[in-house]
Structure 1
């Protein structure tokens, strides 16, 4: 029987590419998104290549939609083999200038959505004594960056959540936990981040304006210097996710490019894949 996988945020980018890639590699894919009206491009691929992809509505900020999607999978297959927490959104703005609604939104989408989806699948994986949970975090989940502190804070939270979870669900229940940490991704994710910042004119005035202008200029310079491989395609990141999914002993942490590896080196050099810290935590607490 094929392994099944629930993927969040599949309308574009890494989620879209992962849904297709997993289906082409003998997975039964449950591709979810907030609005199924955005599934037309994915439907074209499903029909063209006769892919085993099933579309479900799921909004990671609404627990009732998460439960409904997981219930559907269990009803259809009596199991859930893998969760890929992919849904997320970029955000760059100073803490001072962010509204309460924006702070809640960036936290809900990037952190609490991961918690809620993970919470929904864990009882089934624990019962079947097998499963895998892969979460897209970011180099921003390891290294805080200017004007990204709220986004990085949410991604740091995912890293801590997954690290803590890995210490006690891995061995007794055979549930594998991994965080995939890209640098920049050339997808609508980046477009969304920019729309939340410069397009709204948040930094046109004020003391932060010249600092932010330097930050945006640096981003543009890195985007233009393709040889540095800062910005990967969604498919390149999806291939790393697939490798993790097919690994019998997947790492807790993995960067998706040499640039990301170098960027995080000061934080990761003692324990690049996170296996040492998990073992240390098990030895200390369990």
Structure 2
């Protein structure tokens, strides 16, 4: 029987590329997104290659939507082998100038949604004594960056959540957990991040403006000079996700590029893949 995989946020970018790649590699893919009207590009690929991809609506901020999608998969297959928490959104604005609604939104999409999706699949994986939860976090889940504190805070939270979860569900129930940490991705994600903030007003004003201008100038310069080293394509990140899904003993953490490894090296040099820390926690508490 094929392994199946539930992927969130597949309308574009890494999610779309992952849905296609996993299907090409023999997985039965349940590709989900909040609005199926945005599935045109994925539908075209499914039809062109006759891929085993099934579209389902799923809003990671809506518990009922998540439950309905998971129940559909269980009704169809009786199991969920892999959950790929991909859905997320970038956000760059100062804490002072972000609205309360924006703070709630960036937290819900990037952190709470991961918990809700994970919570929905764990009972089925626990019962079947097998499963894999792969979550796309970010180098921003390990290293805080200017004007990205709300986004980084959500990704830090995901990293902590997954690390804690791995300490007690991996061994007894054979549920493998991995956080995949890309650096820059040349997909619609960055465009969306800028739009999500600029639509609500300028990202920085007043005394923050000259700092923000230096930040943007530096980012643009680095992108221009080192595009190959910094920015990966969605397909390249999807290939790393597939590697993780095929590992017998996947790591807790995995950066997806040489640039990402270097960027996080101060934080990760003593325990690059996170397994030493998890093993220590198990010995200390369990």
Unaligned runs of 5+ in 2: none
Q: 1:31 and 2:31 equivalent? A: yes
In the alignment, what sits opposite 1:149? Answer: 149
1:68-95: per-residue Cα shift (whole Å, max 9, x none)? 0000000000000000000000000000
Provide the secondary structure at the position in 2 that maps to 1:134: strand
Provide the secondary structure at the position in 1 that maps to 2:180: strand
In the alignment, what sits opposite 2:70? Answer: 70
Q: 1:5 and 2:14 equivalent? A: no
1:198-233: per-residue Cα shift (whole Å, max 9, x none)? 565524630000000111111111221245511111
1:100-130: per-residue Cα shift (whole Å, max 9, x none)? 0000000000000000000000000000000
Provide the secondary structure at the position in 1 that maps to 2:206: coil
Aligned pairs for 1:1-286 within 5 A: 1-198=1-198, 201-203=201-203, 205-226=205-226, 229-286=229-286
Does the CA-based 8 Å contact 2:60-2:114 persist in structure 1? Answer: yes
TM-score (norm 2): 0.98
Residues 227, 209 of structure 1: alpha-carbon distance in 2 compared, 3 angstrom cutoff: closer
Residues 203, 27 of structure 1: alpha-carbon distance in 2 compared, 3 angstrom cutoff: closer
Deviation at 1:193, TM superposition (A): 1.1
| CA distance in 2 between partners of 1:203 and 1:10 (Å) | 27
Unaligned runs of 5+ in 1: none
Residues 227, 107 of structure 1: alpha-carbon distance in 2 compared, 3 angstrom cutoff: closer
1:156-207: per-residue Cα shift (whole Å, max 9, x none)? 0000000000001111100000000000111111001111335655246300
Provide the secondary structure at the position in 2 that maps to 1:209: helix
Does the CA-based 8 Å contact 1:222-1:228 persist in structure 2? Answer: no
| CA distance in 2 between partners of 1:175 and 1:40 (Å) | 33
| CA distance in 2 between partners of 1:169 and 1:144 (Å) | 28
| CA distance in 2 between partners of 1:104 and 1:115 (Å) | 15
| CA distance in 1 between partners of 2:34 and 2:195 (Å) | 19
Does the CA-based 8 Å contact 1:11-1:42 persist in structure 2? Answer: yes
| CA distance in 1 between partners of 2:212 and 2:65 (Å) | 37
Residues 44, 138 of structure 1: alpha-carbon distance in 2 compared, 3 angstrom cutoff: same
Residues 192, 123 of structure 1: alpha-carbon distance in 2 compared, 3 angstrom cutoff: same
Residues 203, 131 of structure 1: alpha-carbon distance in 2 compared, 3 angstrom cutoff: closer
Provide the secondary structure at the position in 1 that maps to 2:92: coil
Provide the secondary structure at the position in 2 that maps to 1:30: strand
Does the CA-based 8 Å contact 1:228-1:259 persist in structure 2? Answer: no
TM-score (norm 1): 0.98
Provide the secondary structure at the position in 1 that maps to 2:207: coil
